[in-house]
Structure 1
Amino acid sequence: MQTPTPAHTFTQRISATPRGARLARRLTRYHLDGWGIPYDSELSDAVAQVAAELAANAATHGRVSGRDFALRLLLLADGVRIEVTDTRTECRPPERPELPSPDEESGRGLVLVAALATRWGVDARSVGKTVWAEVSPPGG
């Protein structure tokens, strides 16, 4: 499916580390605010959470030593598309993430993404993959 022409875009390569994942969240909020989606709005909170989860997964599961991941944000007429591209081809997220047991310390990121996003998926690349999600405004 073709992505509609965005009103605004932002793309940044970020180090595949926990610090890089935090930076992805901050950059997301910053650019959303500049595009007219205020800090602490429901849409800003949801998009920032999705960006943080996808970036954390790229830094944890998609990490290849010495390689960054890319964060791309697109402001669309009906919401925001978040794309995170890493360089690890063989490690793909499950199509239907399941909630881990209560005693597990991780494994909830894609469950959150699936709950907050209107839709999400994975696009294969010759090297790596792009995990993307689209978030619509509440009631949108």
Structure 2
Amino acid sequence: MTRRQKSGPTRLHRRVGHADMSAVGEVRCALREFLSHRSGRQYTDVAELLLSELLTNALIHTRNGAVVTVTSAPARLRVEVRDFLAEQEPAPYVPNADDGTHGRGLLLVQSLADSWGVTAQALGKVVWFELSGRTA
């Protein structure tokens, strides 16, 4: 984890190995700590939830792990989850009633984030979201 305590943006960066599902909780805790002096609890809760959804998707649907980057600026938080599989572009869909709890992650991101998207990389892609509000 890297932090830069200056007036500009600050950043959290974490690499997660393939199928390391326990890392999802660890990265959530790191995000909570990272935001603890930057934003309110409700803002942090939303950021944690959406990060969990994106990171879980990356770990379940790809084979090479993921990289999480969180950038905090005075009026914006940007969370990026990069995977290394270019063939799959995520898209929200409405799951069937018998899908249990699966398939709702991107719907949550779409509903709760101020903006979100997918950026193709030379190898893989970055799925990101932004929250506007009080951060530092």
Unaligned runs of 5+ in 1: 1-5
CA-to-partner distance for each residue in 1:24-72, whole Å, 9 max, x for gaps? 2121111111x4225xx110001111111110011011x21xx331010
Q: Verify the 8 A CA contact 2:58 2:65 in the aligned structure 1.
A: no
* RMSD (Å) for aligned C-alpha atoms: 1.8
Identity %: 30
| Count of aligned pairs | 126
Aligned counterparts of 1:19 and 1:132: Cα–Cα separation in 2: 21
Q: Verify the 8 A CA contact 2:65 2:83 in the aligned structure 1.
A: yes
Unaligned runs of 5+ in 2: 1-7
Of 82, 86, 111, 2:107 maps to 111
Aligned counterparts of 1:22 and 1:91: Cα–Cα separation in 2: 24
Aligned counterparts of 1:52 and 1:44: Cα–Cα separation in 2: 12
The one-letter code sitting in structure 1 at the alignment partner of 2:17 is: S
1:137 maps to which residue?
133
1:21 maps to which residue?
24
TM-score, normalization by structure 2: 0.84
TM-score, normalization by structure 1: 0.82
Q: Verify the 8 A CA contact 1:21 1:59 in the aligned structure 2.
A: no
Q: Verify the 8 A CA contact 1:118 1:136 in the aligned structure 2.
A: yes
Instruction: Indicate yes or no: 2:101 matched with 1:99.
Output: no
